[in-house]
Amino acid sequence: MVFLSHHPKVVSTAVVPENTPLPAPAEWPSTKVSDKKITETGSYYSINATYPVTKNDVITGYFSSFVQDSITEFKSDTSWAAGSGANSEAAAEDGLLSLNVTYTEQKNANADNYIFSVDENSGGAHDLVSTKTFSFSATGQLITISSLFTNGDDGLKTIAPYVAAQLATAADADSSMIAQGTAPTDDNYQNFTVAPDGVTFIFDPYEVGPYSDGQQTVKVPVSAFASIASTDLFSSAQ
């Protein structure tokens, strides 16, 4: 006769101490590894640019291409200084023409936002100040305007009135510039950062107001477009 012995299943009753650190999440593909710096000095100009090198070559490529394109455009804008004439000679002598590209990062639970600032002195009355943003999901996907909303680019028609109304509250608001700069087109809303509770749009000088107004931003809370908000990007979307 064979006797089978059954061993009861052992269930662990160990309690993890409250202060035990949780395992670190996997690094996002957009995580910065280092900075790439570009410095160039010509007879009439100087260039200083920095962009992040990330864990993903495709993402780094977005930044590299943008910076290189900015440098190419700057050299084209300032090519007049390489000619002859009083203005050209003055520019070459003083070396005042310049391009500076810097960036900041805003990372949260839902998006990794990189905000590039381009300050170009190409000989005009004012420096040309412009912005370029790149936002990525945890998987490294580039976040586009259409991915903010469940109905794609049409979502801009929902938020445009909100953005215009916020900008109009300024004491020196220019209604015609606001109307044109907040029309629901991709170009008008190309620069933005994403957070779990909403999206912030960035407008450079001359886009929704005169140069003297500087850069203007408007944060649109999820509540303003909850019915069409991407549930992947906005935690409070309904």
Q: 105 is written with which tokens?
A: 């990062």
Share of the chain above pLDDT 90, in %: 69
Q: What is the pLDDT of residue 124?
A: 76
CB distance 96 to 121 below 8 Å: yes
| Most distant pair of Cα atoms in the chain: their distance | 113
List the chain domain ranges. 27-143, 144-238
Return the amino acid letter for 216. Answer: Q
Q: What is the pLDDT of residue 4?
A: 41
Query: For all residues of the chain together, what is the average pLDDT?
Result: 86
pLDDT bracket for residue 43 (50, 70, 90): confident
Opening angle at CA 116, ends 114 and 122, nearest 5: 170
- pLDDT of 15 strictly over 80: no
- Identify the burial level of 26 via C-beta atoms within 10 angstroms of its C-beta, where 0-12 means exposed, 13-18 middle and 19 or more buried: exposed
CA–CA separation, 50 and 52 (whole Å): 7
- pLDDT of 12 strictly over 50: no
CATH 3.30.565.40 fits 27-143, yes or no: yes
Q: Tell me whether strands 192-195 and 128-136 are parallel, antiparallel or unpaired.
A: unpaired
- pLDDT of 191 strictly over 70: yes
Q: Provide the CATH number for the domain formed by 144-238 in this structure.
A: 3.90.640.20
Mean pLDDT (whole number) for 55-79: 96
